[in-house]
Structure 1
């Protein structure tokens, strides 16, 4: 029998929050509100207005199913199938990472570089290598009205998800989707290349939180023995794809910024200052430029 049978909407939310808190969930209140809303098809305003209404049998069963999934460690974003990034609602699939706030640091650094260069209003060509849900590229296109994006991913399923996101955000006519490994199938010159590649050392994946190791696609996490395999490929590719004066901005893991900067320098790119830290103070966005010749 469901824990929520015969409960009011408000009581069900509180019961679920208590169950989540009991297993160490540090966002129990928010998760409970989101899951109750999903089970009942109500937004926050609707839940407040109907707070005293008793759940139907079907609603209680639906909420119990969602609760079990969350209690087993499945992220709320996976359960809901959607996650906000840069203020944009993005659909997810089994082939995509859940976009994380840390990755917004890449968007911030890229926009800073373009604006400082007076390039943000130009008809820029942007490449997003290993795009996943399309998060980084779509955030940039939403800020750069004259830019066109080219997004690659080795997963056709990920590209379908990203394409759907672009279409629903009204950005589909400014994005092109290409199935390949990082920049291997790209041609032409790009003003900006961005990427959030897999960077977790293979041996560290088993120790990640269950929300990541059990639900994010391993191919989007596993960076090889030292976590740097993807950078070795994409940095050298990018050096040959950037315009004169073009920028490369990538997300890195904790403690990797110096090694990735060294790879950039070895490929003939010039780092553009210290890495940009995320809200937790971790150097997260590493950037470099192909110097004008």
Structure 2
């Protein structure tokens, strides 16, 4: 990219010529300018403004990082999810808009349940749990992650947003295991966006910035989902729901796991692209 002074339009054009998508270029330039990511109309109105040298230097660094496949959210340090502004960095996965499908489904399942108890497994940045708590302030939310770093990120997001919930460092439902199995901790809903990529998937090599432990799960990508399905059956109230995000081609396999475990009303929901992205089922009211 040119070391000469650039206008805003020239900078955006140069970034796109290097292969940066237009939206990424705009968001990163707004961040370099200290403006909000949704303020793209401001860029159009000031397209002929010349970038100050310091801003241009920062912008150049941002472009190089993005061209190196670093997610935009890691560069800007935040991401919008379900109307909430979350802090995001390399300790957690970059929340995707597709995951809002899981939040919407959970809210629908819990619509008639007063003060529902919900746990988000593998919470990462806290996106799912925080979206649920923000929309349903009466819900009792718990969030779990095996990464202490992720728990720290999620806790900080909750504090920043003023949303009260409990956090646990541990593997899936292990923090809720009790010596007395006759009185297990039970939830109205268990939700999770767990790792679901096959460990030998070629796409993993291109994801060098994200935490691998939050992505890969065995030879077929279903190891963690199998474990969650088994554990969830011991921690759901009668009529409670288990809702899982999964890969684009895993809906049938996840439905089968749920059915074999004894879940009823097993079904899948599409994401914004029409791909079956989430599957879930209801624990029987009578066994």
TM-score under structure 2 normalisation? 0.90
Tell me the distance in 2 between the aligned counterparts of 1:209 and 1:259.
25
CA distance, structure 1, for counterparts of residue 126 and residue 61 of structure 2: 29
Give the secondary structure class of the aligned counterpart of 1:185.
helix
Aligned residue number for residue 177 of structure 1: 167
Q: 1:194 aligns with which of 191, 194, 197?
A: 191
Are 2:209 and 1:219 equivalent residues in the alignment? no
Residue 110 (structure 2) pairs with residue 114 (structure 1) = yes
Q: Which runs of 5+ in 2 are unaligned?
A: 178-184
Q: Is the 8 Å Cα contact of residues 110 and 116 (structure 2) preserved in structure 1? A: no
Unaligned runs of 5+ in 1: none
245, 263, 266: which is aligned to 1:269?
A: 263
Structure 1 residues 1-293: aligned runs within 5 Å: 3=2, 5-20=4-19, 25=20, 28-43=21-36, 44=39, 46-48=42-44, 50-115=46-111, 118-119=112-113, 122-171=114-163, 173=164, 175-186=165-176, 188-204=185-201, 206-208=202-204, 210=206, 213-270=207-264, 272-293=265-286
- Identify if the C-alpha distance between structure 1 residues 51 and 4 changes in structure 2 by more than 3 Å, giving closer, same or farther: farther
Deviation at 1:18, TM superposition (A): 2.6
Instruction: Tell me the SS of whatever aligns to 2:90.
Output: coil
Residue 180 of structure 1, CA deviation: 0.3
User: Aligned to 2:237, what secondary structure does the other structure show?
Assistant: strand
Deviation at 1:246, TM superposition (A): 0.8
Task: Tell me by how many angstroms 1:149 deviates.
Answer: 0.8
Q: Distance in 1 between matches of 2:280 and 2:191?
A: 9
- Shift in Å, 1:186: 1.4
Secondary structure of 1:162's counterpart equals helix
TM-superposed deviation, 1:151 = 0.5
C-alpha RMSD of the superposition: 1.8
Change (3 A) 1:247 1:132: same
Kindly indicate whether the alpha-carbon contact (under 8 Å) linking 1:190 and 1:241 is maintained by their aligned counterparts in 2: yes
For residues 18-65 of structure 1, give each alpha carbon's deviation from its aligned partner in whole angstroms, at most 9, with x where no partner exists: 323xxxx4xx22111111111121242654554433222211111111
Distance 2:3 2:132 in 1: 43
Q: How many residue pairs align between the two structures?
A: 276
Which structure dedicates a bigger proportion of its chain to helix? 1
Tell me the SS of whatever aligns to 2:141: strand
1:268 is displaced (CA, Å) by: 2.5
